[in-house]
Amino acid sequence: MSSPAPERRRSTRRRPKLSYADADSDDEPERGGKRRRNAALKPGARKGGKAKGEPKRRRRLADAPDMMEEEGGAIDDDDMCASEPDPEEMQRQEEEEVEAALLEAEEQAKAGTLRARRKRKVATRRRTGLRREEGASESDDHFVGDPMPDDEARRRWPERYKPKDSDDPKSRTKKKRSNAAAEEEKEKRARCHYRSAIVEGATFDLGDDVYVRAPPGEDDYIGRITEFFQEIEHKSYFCCRWFYRVADTVITPKLLEVPDHEHDHKRVFLSEEKDDNLIESIISKVKITYVAPNLTQQEKAELISKSDLYYDMAYSVAYSTFANVPPENGGPTGSETTSDISCDNVDSSMEKAIADLPVPPDAQMETATLLDLYSGCGAMSTGLCQGAPLSGLKLTTKWAVDMNEYACDSLKHNHPRTHVRTEKAENFLKLLQEWDKLCKEYDVRNSTCLPRISNDDEDDENGVNEPLSEGTFEVEKLVDICYGDPNKIETDGLWFKVRWKTYDSSHDTWEPLDGLRDSPECIKDFVESGYRESILPLPGHVDVICGGPPCQGVSGLNRNRNHKDPLADEKNKQILVFMQIVNYLRPKYVLMENVVDILKFADGFLGRYALSLLVAMRYQARLGIMVAGCYGLPQFRMRAFLWGAVPSVVLPKFPLPTHVATKRGQHVPTKFSQCLVACDETESKLLDKALFLKDAIDDLPEVENHQPKDVMAYKSRPNTDLQRYIRLNRKDTGDNSLGDSTPKEGQLFDHQPLELNKDDYQRVQHIPQKKGANFRDLKGVRVGKNKSVEFDPNIPRQYLSSGKPLVPDYAMTFVKGRSLKPFGRLWWDETVSTVVTRAEPHNQAILHPNQNRVLTVRENARLQGFPDYYRLFGPIKQKYIQVGNAVAVPVAQALGYSLGQAYQQGEFSGEQRPLFKLPRNFVPVAQATATRLPQGSSAGEVVEEE
């Protein structure tokens, strides 16, 4: 008779309860049809298995990051709402709404399946061990020697010797409610423990790494023996701690087929996942070597060559983490004869909050440089640089890259010390490679001077330049460098911007490198000065890279989305470009941000791909899903974040929420539910209350639909802690981007709405100023069957002065008439779902509660946590795009604090917990004082720009 497949139990890691409050029951269902259920956000068991099926939640084109080419057009057009919505955009948005509802229902069904049934995916191998023949005797499989002393066994594995559950009513009730999966999770009780066992004539000891028989159709598992014990019913078991191969982690086998990177087939990852198995499931020993991160490449190669497999990192399903192995678990094979660290210890999300926030003086802080890729207007790097000093790290945004010129203008204004480049990320990578070659060619690290090459006609006999003949141009100096095609001649290459003698900067031109070979001294001077000023980063010179590479290929507005091969779509390849820059510069830390759709579309392929690239580059990695509202904003906004860290440093944790957040319209992908950063049931009661729209914007001056001034004065003092904090000046928020330069206080920037056209403005004037108001409140509309709208046959259709209908047809038919979004008003006690990049009211709720206009750029910026001193540039529509694409600043601040903590710890110390609590006074709201109006100005007076 063949041996039975090993029994496997589910891990007992608890699933924390989310710190979300459901929206009020009388609130409209996300302003978009039927209210979605919250099953995907409910507490559940923390499991390592992988469910099948993933919703393909669509995303609006307006939310696409700045790498997308923006449409041109006159500035006047960018300052006014379109007279009619784009029919195709409306249709696609409608499809998104419908598909999202259907896929969420499917997601909930699959979430239930996942809880009811779990299939382990652990490490595999080629089958080399001999199988027990059918009908062979199992009597030879037995423990060796005397049982371990009872007191030692009970000390090392106390859970095994606990008595049965008591028969009190509470226990009986819990048992009745438990299902088969929960029963399977129960720890097996032991009669006694042993140190060794003989299986098929071979001796196995505690700490041995072994192949373990898998069920039919699966490759054998790989694990480490942590216990030998006789179960209470006299069956012989061993507990196995599993190793994972790359294909059995969140990366999955499909990613191993992607040709742009590869993983070592001998590399495995030690996990905290453990199962009890019958001892006859053991097949054979395997030599697995631990490779420490501090070894040289030669030492690592030698160790690996002498082993069957090796591991250099641990893997945890929680937060899809690949991290250094704790010292107590990274010793040589066979050394681990004690019980492992419990899952709860590794996965524990709770630790005491830091009572105070001691911030050292700048002179005592360690410093680090930051490169912000796909930077937009700089919100992510701004938050990181504000949060890092609170944990003792002075982080400076040295470089930033984006292809949206308006976003770059905003970043330059707010961060004048930063080298901002307006170009494609692909060209930036090429430029870095060419710049490195130039620095080596001119040996800028050691060079003193280059022999000067004189032209016969360059100087006269007195050393004074002769006047140039008409039509002759001479290089005075080089002022900039780029890679690409700045002159639009369809030839990419390295170019320099040239300042010509006797001409001013308006005559500067881009010239190719080959055309400047007769001016070697100018090139050398530029390269030397550029190296001194660090105009471009070199490999090893960057400490941190952050960025949000766009993935327009996952957008719901992309009708040609490639589900089978997402990387075949050029719109999804920016993740690869981002990682190529990381691999070239090799920073200590990496932080990538993206929409949660990368964890939903095509089974989360792009999220897994980003992880795969980092792990293949030997970076530690950790994936988390964060909600902006959990960090003190009246906006839900769920986003995915991926930490990376080289093996020699500490992998940053994710900061636990500080506030309750009201759930609005977004849900966690089932397969990545382990990545949601949330508090458990007890800790969530200690969080600050959720914030609402009123907390952020009710102190701002009233403005009209047409408001041409982009600089104003406050007319009142702040009313809430959030408003007091958001009005602080740069110095008080820890923003050193302007150095000692401090702008005038009392100036309010960008408090301008997108101007509604005449027809829409008249419609908005008819929308009641009450909670939940929208186009359904217009005359002639009534709610029919299935809560869909229809025209009231008893009321004649109303028309505007232009002759167009008061109630547009597109509003009546949007999402089959079930949507509440067209011309919807927000309300003071509501949380915004997500600040979007378009401010048009045709298919979204964006109207001010009691003013007949859309929210202004500044109001949207406040919902994103931008400080009021942060000024934006470009046409109105471009400002909305910059704000909508930004990372919520408080989220970036919290991540910056985490980065500073990891940076200060230096080398890895064995601490593996993925979450931590922020200090109680992390956001110094208590220090915020009411912003005073400038002397001599009165409330509401416009302060002219200098």
What is the set of active-site residues? 551
Q: How far apart are CA 411 and CA 735, in angstroms?
A: 13
Would you tell me how many other CB atoms lie within 10 Å of the CB of residue 116?
10
Angle, helix 520-533 to helix 425-441, in steps of 10 degrees: 110
Residue keyed to tokens 């919520």: 888
Look at residues 536, 204, 242 and name the one whose alpha carbon lies nearest to residue 401.
536
CB 261 within 8 A of CB 275: no
The Cα–Cα gap between 41 and 667 comes to 7
Would you tell me the crossing angle of helices 574-585 and 605-616 to the nearest 10 degrees?
20
Q: Which residues contact 514 (CB under 8 A, 6 or more apart)?
A: none
Q: Which of 221, 220, 162 is nearest to 189 (CA)?
A: 162
Q: How far apart are CA 564 and CA 402, in angstroms?
A: 29
**DSSP letter, residue 769:** S
Backbone angles phi, psi at 117, to 5 degrees: -145, 130
**Residues 913, 344: contact at Cβ < 8 Å?**
no
In the block, residue with structure tokens 């292809």: 403
CA distance readout (Å), 470 to 339, 419, 457, 505, 509: 87, 36, 15, 19, 18
Core vs surface per residue 323-349: b (16+ CB within 10 A) or e: bbbbeebbeebeebeebbeebeebbbb
Helices (H), 10-55: none
DSSP-derived pairing of the beta strands 393-402 and 309-316: unpaired
Q: For 276-287, give one letter per residue: b (16+ CB within 10 A) or e.
A: bbbbbbbbebbe
Reading the block at residue 820, the tokens are 């509440």
Are 432 and 581 a contacting pair, CB within 8 Å?
Answer: yes
Angle subtended at Cα 201 by Cα 197 and Cα 205, rounded to the nearest 5 degrees: 30
Cβ of 467: how many Cβ atoms within 10 Å?
9
Phi/psi for 707 (5° steps) reads -135, 95
What phi and psi, each to the nearest 5 degrees, are found at residue 3?
-70, 145
For residue 789, the cross-strand partners are: 783
Q: State residue 488 phi and psi, 5-degree precision.
A: 55, 50
What are the DSSP calls for 922-945, one per residue?
SS-GGG--PPPPPTT--TT-----
Q: How far is CA 921 from the centre of its chain?
A: 24
- Which stretches of 646-796 are assigned E, i.e. beta strand? 654-655, 661-662, 711-713, 747-749, 781-783, 789-791
Alpha carbon distance 396, 98 (integer Å):
44
**CA-CA distances (angstroms) from residue 796 to 591, 803, 806?**
58, 14, 11
Rounded to 5 degrees, φ, ψ at 802 are -80, -10
Distance, in Å, from the CA atom of 803 to the CA atom of 758, rounded to the nearest integer, reads 12
Q: What secondary structure does DSSP assign to 535-580, as a single string?
A: SS--TT--SEEEE----GGG-TT-TT--SS-GGGSGGGTHHHHHHH
